């Protein structure tokens, strides 16, 4: 019997060992690994976002990764809560969710310190989120985005500032007006259109808004059939005719008169005047733009890529005046937007706007025989001057050390031997083209920091990255 038990345990241990050795190297579905070369791109995008929004006076904040589920259930929409949130019951028997967005959280934060916050409040966050949805190009289950919100300003100037900010974010990456269009609508226009022009009741209007929101993602026949179902058989012929008139409108002037003369449309016209004065020239009115989240109360907008291989919405936002009041505080007007990392990366790749990047390390010390102690001190002294130094501690041959520096895309190499340590003059080699110059410690520090300053200013200078260096 002991023999049989031992055999069973051996088999169990063998299975465990097999499973351990067969672990997948792939990340969880809908997520991605960021290797150092990927982090260079991400850091570039994040730093550009941060630089632009801070130039407008926006200040950074953050919120917990977990929120009570009812924070999202209150206003974000049932699809987001029921189908897209990662939710669970914690050990205190509380129903919580990994944040799928940040607007409810920032609204909660504003409500919590409503009397202490100085308005207008300009806040931003670059954060990590998760949504359980079908992974596709540019859309993952784990994602990063820039959240920009302006609290405490009524009227179209707030929307104009946020849209102008989005425009300048894309311009900061080198984009021009031909690369994207800004589509604008207004929930007041939408509500007027649904109730007074199409004659829909509240439930029908909600269904039609969801249908319009999916218009570009489903076939024309499916859109028509679902519209007929919403209208009902008797009202469908007249309803479809009116929808056709709406879809044919390319500007506010083309809208049916009943909509064109409404106060809601005049509000949108005021926004376009503000944008024109701010120098934003590629904004367009789009009666079909809905923005699916339930909390929007006024202007909604989307930045849309015009590249034929990436013809899709990049990011969007809008006005959500009612959200802060849900937390028991006095209501505060609010406008926000949320550019996502993956869509920004695709936009830059599609338009060939991504610069080439080298390592964030400035200098690699190649150590010759018997120079380890001196090289260690040199590395320490360079770091104290602000130089980012990687010291080779492998005792490998010189050519292998040099190959490592080149493979890591580190821009400079210094060879450190007894002769260099005695003379305090070191050969500084540029790995991109192999040029070499002997320099003193002070000149090396100046040259390296000067290059880093130029790269930071230009987001990677082409002269340092265009050629390969052969060992």
Which pTM does this prediction carry?
A: 0.85
Looking at residue 36, its pLDDT comes to: 93
Question: Does the pLDDT value for residue 76 go beyond 70?
Answer: no
Least confident of 18-27, 87-96, 214-223: 18-27
Model confidence pLDDT, tens digit, residues 362-379: 999 999 999 999 999 999
State residue 251's pLDDT score: 84
DSSP per position, 30-46: T-----HHHHHHHHHHH
Please state, in angstroms and rounded to a whole number, the distance separating the CA atoms of residues 318 and 186.
9
82-121 confidence digits (pLDDT tens): 889 999 999 999 999 999 999 999 999 999 999 999 999 9
Residue 3 is predicted with a pLDDT of 47
Q: In this structure, are residues 170 and 302 in contact, taking their beta carbons and an 8 Å threshold?
A: no
CA–CA gap between residue 10 and residue 20 (Å, rounded): 15
Q: List CB contacts of 439: < 8 A, sequence separation 6 or more.
A: 425, 426, 428, 447
pLDDT one-digit tens code per residue, 156-171: 999 999 999 999 999 9
The pLDDT value recorded for residue 293 is: 64
Burial bucket for residue 224 (CB in 10 Å: 0-12, 13-18, 19+): middle
pLDDT tens across 438-454, in order? 999 999 999 999 998 88
> Domains of the chain, with CATH numbers?
46-350 (3.30.930.10), 363-464 (3.40.50.800)
**Averaged confidence pLDDT in the chain:** 90
pLDDT at 219: 93
How far is Cα 32 from Cα 27, in angstroms, rounded to an integer?
6
């Amino acid at each position: 019997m002991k023999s049989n038990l031992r055999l069973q345990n051996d088999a169990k241990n063998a299975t465990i060992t097999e499973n351990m050795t067969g672990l997948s190297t792939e990340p969880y579905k809908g997520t991605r690994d960021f290797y150092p070369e990927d982090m260079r791109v991400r850091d570039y995008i994040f730093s550009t976002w941060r630089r632009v929004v801070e130039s407008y006076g926006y200040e950074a904040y953050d919120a917990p990764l977990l929120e009570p589920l009812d924070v999202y259930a209150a206003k974000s929409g049932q699809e987001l809560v029921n189908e897209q949130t990662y939710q669970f019951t914690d050990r205190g028997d509380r129903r919580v969710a990994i944040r799928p967005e940040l607007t409810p959280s920032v609204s909660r934060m504003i409500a919590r310190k409503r009397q202490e916050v100085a308005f207008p409040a300009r806040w931003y966050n670059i954060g990590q989120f998760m949504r359980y949805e079908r992974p596709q190009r540019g859309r993952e289950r784990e994602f990063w985005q820039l959240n920009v919100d302006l609290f405490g300003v009524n009227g179209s100037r707030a929307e104009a500032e946020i849209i102008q900010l989005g425009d300048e974010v894309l311009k900061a990456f080198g984009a021009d007006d031909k690369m994207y269009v800004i589509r604008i609508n207004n929930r007041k226009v939408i509500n007027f259109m649904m109730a007074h022009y199409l004659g829909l009741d509240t439930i029908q209007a909600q269904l039609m808004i969801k249908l319009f929101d999916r218009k570009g993602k489903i076939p024309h026949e499916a859109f028509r059939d679902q519209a007929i179902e919403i209208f009902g058989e008797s009202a469908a012929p007249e309803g479809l005719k009116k929808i056709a008139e709406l879809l044919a409108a390319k500007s506010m002037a083309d809208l049916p008169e009943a909509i064109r003369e409404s106060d809601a449309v005049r509000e949108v016209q005021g926004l376009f005047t503000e944008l024109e004065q701010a120098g934003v020239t590629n904004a367009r009115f789009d009666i079909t733009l809905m923005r699916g989240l339930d909390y929007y109360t006024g202007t909604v907008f989307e930045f849309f890529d015009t590249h034929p291989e990436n013809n899709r919405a990049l990011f969007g936002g809008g006005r959500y005046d009612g959200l802060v009041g849900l937390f028991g505080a006095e209501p505060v007007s609010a406008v926000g937007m949320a550019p996502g990392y993956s869509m920004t990366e695709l936009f830059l790749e599609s338009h060939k706007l991504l610069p080439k990047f080298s390592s964030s390390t400035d200098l690699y010390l190649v150590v010759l025989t018997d120079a380890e102690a001196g090289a260690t001190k040199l590395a320490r002294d360079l770091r104290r001057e602000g130089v980012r130094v990687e010291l080779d501690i492998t005792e490998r041959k010189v050519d292998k050390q040099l190959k490592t520096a080149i493979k890591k895309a580190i821009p400079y190499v210094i060879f450190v031997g007894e002769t260099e340590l005695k003379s305090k003059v070191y050969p500084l080699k540029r790995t991109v083209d192999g040029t070499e110059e002997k320099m003193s410690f002070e000149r090396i520090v100046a040259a390296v920091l000067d290059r880093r300053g130029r790269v930071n200013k230009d987001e990677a200078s082409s002269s340092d990255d265009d050629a390969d260096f052969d060992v």
